[in-house]
Structure 1
Amino acid sequence: MDRRVRQRRHWLLHGLLPALLAAAASADEVPAADTLGPAFATRNAAFLPVSYAQLPGWDSDALHESANGMRASCQALQRKPAWAGICADFDALDGSDAALRGFFLRNFYAYQIMSPARQPDGLITGYFEPLLDGRRQRDDRFRHPVYGLPRDLLTLDAAARGQGASAWLVRQGNRLLPAEPGTSGAAQYTLALDDARPNIRDKRLRVRLDGTTVRPYWTRQEIEQQALDAPVLAWVDDARRLYSLQIQGSGKIELEDGSLIRVSYLEQNGQPFLPNVTRSADAGLVLQAIKTRGLRVGAASGALAPDPAVPAVVNDEVAQLIARLSGQAPPPAAAKRPAPATTPASMPARPRPVSANANVQALIAALMGDAPAAPARPAAPAPAQPQKQPPASLALVAPASAPAGSSGSASASRPVADSGASSGSSGIPDPSYVFFRNTGGDGPQGPVGALGVPLSAGRSLAVDPRSIPLGSPVFISTRDPARRGGPLQRLMFAQDTGGAIRGSVRADLFWGFGDSAGQLALATNDRAQMWLLLPHAQAQAAAAASGPATRGLRSAATLRDCVVDDPDLCVED
């Protein structure tokens, strides 16, 4: 045989053939093209299919830094059919940026998230994990309780109100469930719930029993004037700092012996989140400092100054919000709040409490209706966001720092003591109130968010779970407060929820623990665009449910409320 023929055969066998086999073996790993998913819409958002090449900064993001976020999402979602294979694929990766890019390309369709009016611009804000001083036992100074779950706080499906002024109900754990007359343990109750608003995630009301009458759960003012039947996780010395903790949704408490306990959002009283902002208060400062998770109101003079860089719909919401908080319009519906997240390794283990920061103090003063303090830095003219609806879960996490299906038991809270006595009025007019769980001592992981997993500093988002399914990867493009407004374009994970986090293109970025994180959180309030990465199976199901609505042929009233109808993540009406 000619030597050249033998050489060619050798090359084919030992060169081209292995390459072909390798290509065949990897055919399922790397898609032939950046394929587009089907378009779809919900009542709250529209989803435009895009290629990954259209994501600004996708190729330059350090995706290996997002691996912990993906791992945490898989921890919560790996048993769900749409995620089982995805999480198995993720576990087999080598963790390199190239491998992760191929993984997302292979398993997720990319969608630009838009408002129902097809506007791509929205709002991103920031939150963090503060530090408070506390005690195990109450004394004259440390007299404000950090409550666990009250034993008399119950939930009732909002649909029960459709039965009329009364209903047969039976109690199971902390839930009231519809029952047939005569059912063992059931009774007929009067429903005095005209003003109650359901939580947006689980569509349940937070209620209490008053004899045979079901009423909305106690307001903040009522809670402060009684000895609540609830475990106390710690006692703190400042009601306003406790209020700030409730707004952030999680934090750490340093006890008298120097030990730290971490608390995370567990539940909320179902009352609307209504801080005492008036036209005489510096609303811009309130937005930055108090971190109502994106609430932005007007200027100190009370005149609304629309920000031309912000979508008109956002400025309209700001105007409505100011009117509501000024008592010129009826308050809206309730919303919920998220829990915080993890700390970068560079962050000090025990920084000085951010709650002592001048911006935070000024913000709290403004919320309290005190004389406004001068802002530490000029306040921007006022973009804003969520329609301040009475949150079904004010400060942080949605009723689910624990997964939505959980009972919310306080047994894991390891209480310091039960309250035993009222703390007296704090003077805080906001009727909303947050209850916490003790998630253990200090540690490297972030606090637990609404998805039920630890949050990652700089990579976890609080979102509206109707528009962005919890656990989903979300790519964002905004400005970086740590780099003088340079681009911040990175992959994040939707792992938390929040009372002021309402709407389609809307998120709250978790920055971590302590003063450095607090400064970044206070500085984060900017326009943003967002892209949802959705598993193929979920995208196909969402498109099937959306039907021709994406072509304008269907009424919004017939669209789904949630992208993914999942009782653990978002419950349909």
Structure 2
Amino acid sequence: MIALSFRRGRLALCVAALLSLVAGCDKEPAKPIQPKVETYTRATWEELPATNDADLLAGFNAWRSACARLARDPIWAAPCGSAGQVPEDPTAVRAWLKAQLDVYSLRNAHNSPQGLITGYYEPVYAGSLRRTKETEVPVYGTPEDMIIVALDSLYPELKGKRLRGRLEGRVLKPYDDAATIRANGVKAPVLAWLSDPMDLQFLQIQGSGRIQLENGRQLRIGYADQNGHPYRPVGRWLVEQGLLKQEDVSMSSIRDWARANPQRVQELLATNPSYVFFGLNPDSNEGPRGSLNVPLTAGYSVAIDRKVIPLGSLLWLSTTRPDGSPVTRPVAAQDTGGAIAGEVRADLFWGTGAEAGELAGNMKQAGQLWMLWPKGAPLPGAATAPAQGGKS
């Protein structure tokens, strides 16, 4: 087999060489070389859109709240060491930012600074600690039989990537997809029971939430792990089937469709193979904890693609609310998510409950991002990025 593979490899190289010679004889002019796109384009502080003092302080404090954790990272050790001494004064904060950090405009693959800004929130759904006729949808904890392989332990270039599966004999097989889990259950503790499968779907999309129990207590749950299958938006399937228009897709429109078509809900859910498992969080009034394991701050914490933006980074955001009013402020990169991918891409956390949910569900705005990066520190990709855990 080795000899055969070697001969095939040599044959493939010979064919490739021959094709390149033939291409060289082609009379058509060569295509121009595309200019290299710089994801991180140096900018000046004067280029940042202005923000008000309240948003400046709130965004800075949201970022500073994670400094006890970030101080372990060599990149952030010095800035975090002095950030705690900055008084609650806009002039002092601006002076500190300019002294400690450089500004980089984030650019997408087309060298455009424009990207997509969405929103998320912490939902509250009615449920129970026991199964009843009204509550039959389980909220699962992490499965006992799921094995997680950190691929970067062998391949550093796959930093943050994990393989999830189940052993069958001595073979590691992919873990069950969401449809199989819903149909057959899973070897995992049930943390609570919900009445509506769409509640669970949205809970998984948001990554955390509260379950309102009969006795008045709110059970707080957060992302613990995921089954290893890719996330696919259920709204995309509704658009592909001609059931919703792209511009009309939102959490409320998806829920409305599900209520009007209960017989097709399982068909809808089956289009997303990803399944999220949860863990219990302590009862408190603080925000849910994101991938950085610090409480999120409503309006000032964002989920990002950590292949581009390291967790813990301070960003400058310029976008709008769904009603068109401007949102310009510093924000803290404290969370990640399966649907958040790209250079100029962020998911803004809006808080807890129905009002935050309405705002988050309608948030699909154009926007720009600037990364505020410690002076003299290597840019992401030029050195080992911070290893701070998170959702994969």
Does the TM-score normalized on the shorter chain lie above 0.5? yes
Residue by residue, what CA displacement relative to the aligned partner does 1:169-228 show, whole Å, maximum 9, x if unpaired?
xxxxxxxx88xxxxxxxxxxxxxxxxxxxx986111111111111111111122123342
Partner SS for 1:207: strand
Matches of 1:472 and 1:529 in 2, distance apart?
15
Give the CA deviation at 1:285: 6.0
Give the CA deviation at 1:459: 0.2
CA contact (8 A) 2:291 2:389 kept: no
Tell me the amino acid that sits aligned with residue 488 of structure 1. V
Matches of 2:229 and 2:262 in 1, distance apart?
18
- 1:291-370 to structure 2, matched below 5 A, reads 358-359=252-253, 361-362=255-256, 364=258, 370=264
Comparing 57-66 with 513-522, greater Cα deviation is found at 57-66
Give the CA deviation at 1:365: 5.8
1:49 and 2:42 are equivalent in the alignment: yes
Partner SS for 1:542: coil
Give the CA deviation at 1:269: 0.4
Residue of structure 2 equivalent to 1:521: 360
Tell me the amino acid that sits aligned with residue 526 of structure 1. Q
Aligned match of 2:244 in 282, 300, 303? 282
Give the CA deviation at 1:370: 4.9
Give the CA deviation at 1:362: 2.0
Residue of structure 2 equivalent to 1:89: 82
1:79 and 2:72 are equivalent in the alignment: yes
Partner SS for 1:120: coil
- 1:434-445 to structure 2, matched below 5 A, reads 434-441=276-283, 443-445=284-286
Residue of structure 2 equivalent to 1:535: 374
Tell me the amino acid that sits aligned with residue 487 of structure 1. P
Give the CA deviation at 1:508: 0.6
Matches of 1:368 and 1:44 in 2, distance apart?
47
Residue by residue, what CA displacement relative to the aligned partner does 1:307-330 show, whole Å, maximum 9, x if unpaired?
xxxxxxxxxxxxxxxxxxxxxxxx
Tell me the amino acid that sits aligned with residue 327 of structure 2. L
Residue of structure 1 equivalent to 2:12: none
**Residues 49 and 273 (structure 1), Cα distance of their counterparts in 2 relative to 1, 3 Å cut:** same
Partner SS for 1:504: coil
Residue of structure 1 equivalent to 2:29: none
Residue of structure 2 equivalent to 1:432: 274
Matches of 2:268 and 2:104 in 1, distance apart?
46
Comparing 139-148 with 358-367, greater Cα deviation is found at 358-367
Calculate percent identity across the aligned residue pairs.
35
Give the CA deviation at 1:136: 1.1
Please give the root-mean-square deviation of Cα atoms over the aligned residues, in Å.
2.8
Matches of 2:109 and 2:71 in 1, distance apart?
31
**Residues 57 and 370 (structure 1), Cα distance of their counterparts in 2 relative to 1, 3 Å cut:** farther
- 1:30-179 to structure 2, matched below 5 A, reads 46-58=39-51, 62-158=55-151
Aligned match of 2:316 in 472, 475, 480? 475
Residue by residue, what CA displacement relative to the aligned partner does 1:383-423 show, whole Å, maximum 9, x if unpaired?
xxxxxxxxxxxxxxxxxxxxxxxxxxxxxxxxxxxxxxxxx
Matches of 1:280 and 1:200 in 2, distance apart?
38
Matches of 2:81 and 2:109 in 1, distance apart?
35
Is the radius of gyration larger for structure 1 or structure 2?
1
Partner SS for 2:360: helix
Partner SS for 1:223: helix
CA contact (8 A) 1:368 1:428 kept: no
Residue by residue, what CA displacement relative to the aligned partner does 1:40-74 show, whole Å, maximum 9, x if unpaired?
xxx99611111111101146563222243123221
Partner SS for 1:440: coil
Tell me the amino acid that sits aligned with residue 273 of structure 2. P
Aligned match of 1:253 in 211, 225, 242? 211
Give the CA deviation at 1:151: 1.1
- What TM-score do you get using the length of structure 2 for normalisation? 0.81
1:267 and 2:210 are equivalent in the alignment: no
Matches of 1:204 and 1:99 in 2, distance apart?
42
- What TM-score do you get using the length of structure 1 for normalisation? 0.57
Aligned match of 2:351 in 512, 520, 534? 512
Give the CA deviation at 1:522: 2.1
1:238 and 2:196 are equivalent in the alignment: yes
**Residues 542 and 64 (structure 1), Cα distance of their counterparts in 2 relative to 1, 3 Å cut:** closer
Aligned match of 1:208 in 162, 166, 180? 166
CA contact (8 A) 2:123 2:210 kept: yes
Matches of 2:174 and 2:229 in 1, distance apart?
8
Residue of structure 1 equivalent to 2:25: none
Residue of structure 2 equivalent to 1:495: 334
Residue of structure 1 equivalent to 2:4: none
Matches of 1:271 and 1:44 in 2, distance apart?
30
CA contact (8 A) 2:62 2:331 kept: yes
Give the CA deviation at 1:498: 1.2
Partner SS for 2:282: strand
**Residues 367 and 440 (structure 1), Cα distance of their counterparts in 2 relative to 1, 3 Å cut:** farther
Tell me the amino acid that sits aligned with residue 272 of structure 1. P
Give the CA deviation at 1:259: 0.6
Matches of 1:94 and 1:218 in 2, distance apart?
51
- Structure 1 unpaired stretches of 5+: 1-42, 160-176, 179-198, 290-357, 372-424, 547-562
Matches of 2:54 and 2:324 in 1, distance apart?
17
Partner SS for 2:249: helix
Residue by residue, what CA displacement relative to the aligned partner does 1:347-392 show, whole Å, maximum 9, x if unpaired?
xxxxxxxxxxx54522656998959xxxxxxxxxxxxxxxxxxxxx
Tell me the amino acid that sits aligned with residue 361 of structure 1. R
CA contact (8 A) 2:164 2:175 kept: yes
Matches of 1:363 and 1:468 in 2, distance apart?
35
**Residues 111 and 427 (structure 1), Cα distance of their counterparts in 2 relative to 1, 3 Å cut:** closer
Matches of 2:58 and 2:40 in 1, distance apart?
26
CA contact (8 A) 1:73 1:472 kept: no
Matches of 1:359 and 1:516 in 2, distance apart?
16
Matches of 1:87 and 1:68 in 2, distance apart?
12
Matches of 2:319 and 2:188 in 1, distance apart?
42
CA contact (8 A) 2:335 2:390 kept: no
Give the CA deviation at 1:85: 2.1
**Residues 59 and 222 (structure 1), Cα distance of their counterparts in 2 relative to 1, 3 Å cut:** closer
